[in-house]
Amino acid sequence: MASQHTAVSFHQMKDGTIEDYALLARYESQYAAELPDRILARLEQLKFGISGYQVSRFEHSLQSATRAMRDGADVDWVVAALLHDIGDDLAPSNHDALAASVLAPFVREECAWVVRHHGIFQFAYYGDKVGSDPEARQKFAGHPYYDATIVFCERWDQTSFNPAYDSEPLSAFEPMVREVFLRNPWDERHLRPGVHAPLVSA
């Protein structure tokens, strides 16, 4: 009986039975339900990230999300701002793509696209000081999410390195993280392809 299994019977996937894969499906749904906890724990790890700035990557993330919330942005934007640098430690050369991959099944397509490309758009603020093209973002000119990425970087990312800013604590964002990462992955009702929501209301 599958219910008596605690682990599958196979050593190679091709030998697995229907009961084995039913067992794994039950473990996977339980594991997926714990995703918000893993996301929150991972954010806490950003306290120990890259040095040299006046704020930790954790504080930078809280500050970005706080600015998004205070701009009246919706939950997808706030969570995207909170997670946009979550890939810093494991993917220093493409941290934006890692963060976007974490977000993509659960947020509006627009928000995942903006996070995926924020690294290139950020060059507008310092590319000229490090030998990179400040106008690298121009290759995306005309893209439906181009303008949103500029606003994201201008208002929430490049500005969030201020140690005096009164960021909200991570607990303020916990309900939003739980809401977003308990959604049905890849459900078009929250992916909403092509839909734009304002970053700044009012």
- Residues binding Fe ion (CB under 5 A): 85, 157
Are 103 and 65 contacting, i.e. CB atoms less than 8 angstroms apart? no
Are 45 and 86 contacting, i.e. CB atoms less than 8 angstroms apart? no
In the bound state with Fe ion, the residue whose beta carbon lies nearer, of 115 and 191, is 115
What amino acid is encoded at 109 in this protein? E
- Least CB distance to Fe ion at residue 62 (A): 11
Q: Which residues contact 183 (CB under 8 A, 6 or more apart)?
A: 106, 190
- Least CB distance to Fe ion at residue 64 (A): 6
Are 70 and 200 contacting, i.e. CB atoms less than 8 angstroms apart? no
As a whole number of angstroms, the distance between CA 30 and CA 97 comes to 26
C-alpha angle with apex 144: 176 to 198, nearest 5 degrees? 40
In the bound state with Fe ion, the residue whose beta carbon lies nearer, of 59 and 109, is 59
- Least CB distance to Fe ion at residue 57 (A): 8
Count of CB atoms within 10 A of residue 191's CB? 21
In the bound state with Fe ion, the residue whose beta carbon lies nearer, of 10 and 53, is 53
- Least CB distance to Fe ion at residue 22 (A): 41
In the bound state with Fe ion, the residue whose beta carbon lies nearer, of 85 and 110, is 85
- Least CB distance to Fe ion at residue 165 (A): 14
In the bound state with Fe ion, the residue whose beta carbon lies nearer, of 146 and 161, is 161
C-alpha angle with apex 187: 186 to 191, nearest 5 degrees? 80
Please identify which residue in the block is written with the tokens 């977003």: 180
